[in-house]
A and B are shown apart, each in its own frame.
Chain A
Amino acid sequence: MFTSLPQYLRDQNLQGDVRTLLLLKKSMERGLVNTLGDLYLVLKGLVTNSQKDIGPFTVAFYQYFCDVTIKRGESLEAAILRSETFQEWRKLQDYEEGEEPEIAEQIDDFINQIHLTTYDIKSVLKGEDILNNDDPNLKDLGDSDERLQNRLQQAADFSDIPLEELLERMKKVLEQQKKRHQGGNHWVGQGGTSPYGNNGAAQGGVRVGGSGGGKMARKVIGDKNFYPVDTKTTLTDDSIDVALTILKGIQEETVETELDIPNTIKEGVKQGGLFLPIERDKIDQKVQVVLLIDNGGYSMLPYVKTVKKLFSKMKRRFAHDLKTYYFHNTIYDGVYQDAFRSKLVPTEKLCKLNKNYAVFIIGDADMAPYELSEYSLYNWQEINKHFPRAIWLNPMQERFWYGSMTVNVLKQVFEMFPMSPEGIEKGVAHMNRKQKFGKAD
């Protein structure tokens, strides 16, 4: 079951493996999955690991389960509108001529239907009874079956009935249904307590459109923040891992030792109460890194992703504390917290950070000479003064450096290295040297 699902997840850079499938199977056995919406919820809990995963996960989910392919940068609505699934679904809606709701509303219905979960059940009426008394092979006799309008006040719970059965019944009923229905508890239509319909009070059934239930769909999936499809990076740069091992060099190693109390006591007890202190090396692996990335302009575009990937890998592997800031070409009042450069972090604030941070500035340092004003230069100098371990990594090829005036100026402020494994190696070596001699505190 779902054997190709992990591949779909992996395509979105999500975690997906046999364990995911086993857990999914377990959830099904435990009765957590009754509807497509349940499936979404359970898988979301199992697969996503951070807020930013929710977007890619939604993409994978829609592609795998709904056959809705969301292209990069495309909105969910547009993708649905384009999809064949939606067109098929619309046919099933059997809207009457001229009474068709707005297309946006239809899409809402569609999304709500997909995200209907068992949890949407609030007040419960045993749904099984209705199903048992209802004959799916009943011939469509027009509007004769609309007698249970008052049932709308109550709700029917079909959550105990397996999904397959509901789907099967729905199919049977659909085959027979020729006309749109309102009310009643048998036909696929609007209102009523039939488990297949919309706006009805039936919960846990197969909802065909309608606004009930899946409010979460609108709230979460429509939210831009939860839907950053553009997180997919195709990094084939083999040198990243090399660079990573070099970066490990900034890890601080101390020669301090500490008293090993448990072993001292253990040995002491063995010696019959003679305690000789036993020492062990103190391992302090505190790696603190500040990353300043120039992410403005086309010249930097190809590098930003690589750099971020490199340092996020680093963070995952061994850095405890990585702070990333952004700037465009050069800095004036400070750097920015977010990639869109809207939240300013003043230079003073940046310089309040611990001196022991290793600072990597990544930028081509190439700009119009007037941009690198005295004030800007002052800010750079402040940063350099505060952090003894600051270096500049320049992705531009070294032989072009001399052609750029601003590169030459900034080279006076920071030690500049090319952003290649070799350059990074030199930079890290330089950083460590500076640390030893300039033991400023």
Chain B
Amino acid sequence: MALTDFWTGSKHYLCDTDLAQAFHIARTLGMPLLIEGEPGTGKTELPIQYAKDQGLPLFTFPAGSKSNVEQFVAKFDHVKYLRDSQVEVLNAQRIEQGLDPLESGGRKTENLDDYVNLGPGAQAFSHPNSVLLIDEIDKAPREFPNDLLFALSHRQFVLPESGKTISVTEKDMPAIVITSNREQELPTAFKGRCVYHYISFPDAELMEKIVKKHFPKIEGELLKKSIRLFYQLRGMGLDRAPATREMLHWLKYLEHFAVDEAIAKIDKKEGMGILIKSHSDMRKIQSFYPN
């Protein structure tokens, strides 16, 4: 059940109370936490910061359209296996001719385990109390979450070819965080095995706190102005509204200037390219704030 202390964030990461609660519930129950929400609201950051703060090993699996459960659990290295088996044949000949046999790195073809490369999933399961992040699972093919079902509910992976199993007790279960952008619906059976949490977009008040975590020395007027503009932009119905990530990038840019210079930049709407990510949105903004 991983470590079950209630964790509310670290020096650099402000964990929204609702999220912290859901994360705590998930860890206590030994279930994965499935987080959904707008891009750029810190879904991926949660396990990373948690592992960093608590000093736990973190294993990450970024899912993509070609992801399969093999990459996640363990892969059998066919090429190495092929090489070694060829080398064996060759060595028999070499010994006959009185030559030194070739090395194969201590691997033995009879021992199939030597050719199994553990993926992040199997690694996390063999490290007690680790943190496992499966990022953007919605990008993975549909079979992927389905293939994970057994592993999640029985806390056990079967390694390919060698048939060895890696299992973990509920007590040592890694804290699993799965993020999704809802690009495709996940199977119901899969969701049923997770604790679900939807990250709602932070309001101005919380945003202020988040910003202060990242920029502790930020000047009050600058903070107020930037947040006001940020929420104005969000309220404009853009195709791709800026999220927390963009806000932080933008402030990082503004940080390079003196305070009054930065405020002037906000007033003049300079550096909008950091916040706005599409051409049509940019045009909309330019017509909205004519200079």
Chain A interface (Cβ < 8 Å from any Cβ of B): 15, 19, 23, 26-27, 30-32, 41-42, 44-46, 48-51, 54, 117, 119, 216, 220, 223, 261-262, 265, 268-269, 272-273, 315-316, 320-321, 342-343
* Most chain A CB within a 10 A radius of its CB, from B36, B85, B86, B89: B85
> Contact check: which of B24, B141, B188 meets A15 at CB < 8 Å?
B188
Q: Does B156 contact A (CB under 8 A)?
A: no
B147-206 residues at the A interface, CB under 8 angstroms: 182, 184-188, 191-192, 195-198, 200
Measured between alpha carbons, how far is A321 from B195 in the docked complex, in Å? 25
Which one of B42-50, B74-82, B248-256 contacts A?
B74-82
A50:B6 contact, CB within 8 angstroms: no
Q: List 26 A-B contacts (CB under 8 A).
A: A19-B192, A23-B31, A27-B28, A27-B29, A30-B1, A30-B29, A31-B28, A32-B25, A45-B22, A45-B26, A45-B195, A45-B196, A49-B186, A50-B182, A50-B196, A50-B198, A51-B36, A119-B24, A216-B18, A220-B18, A223-B200, A262-B78, A265-B78, A265-B81, A316-B188, A320-B141
Q: Does B68 contact A (CB under 8 A)?
A: no
Measured between alpha carbons, how far is A87 from B155 in the docked complex, in Å? 48
Indicate whether A48 sits within 8 Å of B29 (C-beta atoms), given known contacts A119-B21, A262-B78, A273-B89: no
Q: Does B104 contact A (CB under 8 A)?
A: no
* Most chain B CB within a 10 A radius of its CB, from A45, A54, A261: A45
Q: Does B10 contact A (CB under 8 A)?
A: no
Give the number of residues in B that approach A within 8 Å (Cβ atoms).
Answer: 38
A48:B78 contact, CB within 8 angstroms: no
Measured between alpha carbons, how far is A27 from B20 in the docked complex, in Å? 16
Tell me the smallest distance from the CB of A231 to a CB of chain B, in Å: 15
Q: Does B17 contact A (CB under 8 A)?
A: yes
Which chain A positions have C-beta within 8 A of B127?
none
Which chain B positions have C-beta within 8 A of A272?
89
Q: Does B237 contact A (CB under 8 A)?
A: yes
Measured between alpha carbons, how far is A50 from B182 in the docked complex, in Å? 9
A27:B78 contact, CB within 8 angstroms: no
> Contact check: which of B25, B186, B192 meets A27 at CB < 8 Å?
B25
Which chain A positions have C-beta within 8 A of B200?
220, 223
B3-19 residues at the A interface, CB under 8 angstroms: 4, 6, 17-18
Q: Does B142 contact A (CB under 8 A)?
A: yes
Measured between alpha carbons, how far is A26 from B85 in the docked complex, in Å? 50
Sorted from nearest, which 7 A-B pairs have the closest CB atoms?
Answer: A45-B195, A49-B191, A51-B198, A265-B78, A30-B28, A269-B85, A265-B82
Which chain A positions have C-beta within 8 A of B20?
119
Tell me the smallest distance from the CB of B154 to a CB of chain A, in Å: 14
A41:B25 contact, CB within 8 angstroms: yes
Which chain A positions have C-beta within 8 A of B4?
30
B22:A49 contact, CB within 8 angstroms: no
Indicate whether A273 sits within 8 Å of B86 (C-beta atoms), given known contacts A27-B28, A119-B20, A261-B78: yes
Residue of B nearest to A275 (CB): B82
B82:A269 contact, CB within 8 angstroms: yes
Measured between alpha carbons, how far is A41 from B22 in the docked complex, in Å? 7
> Contact check: which of A27, A48, A119 meets B17 at CB < 8 Å?
A119
Residue of B nearest to A45 (CB): B195
Measured between alpha carbons, how far is A227 from B18 in the docked complex, in Å? 17
Tell me the smallest distance from the CB of B24 to a CB of chain A, in Å: 8
Measured between alpha carbons, how far is A46 from B195 in the docked complex, in Å? 5
Q: Mark B49-89, 1 if CB is under 8 A from A, else 0.
A: 00000000000000000000000000010100110011001
Measured between alpha carbons, how far is A49 from B187 in the docked complex, in Å? 10
Known contacts A26-B29, A32-B28, A51-B36; 14 additional CB pairs below 8 A are: A15-B191, A41-B25, A45-B25, A45-B195, A46-B196, A51-B198, A54-B198, A117-B21, A220-B18, A262-B78, A265-B81, A268-B82, A269-B82, A269-B85
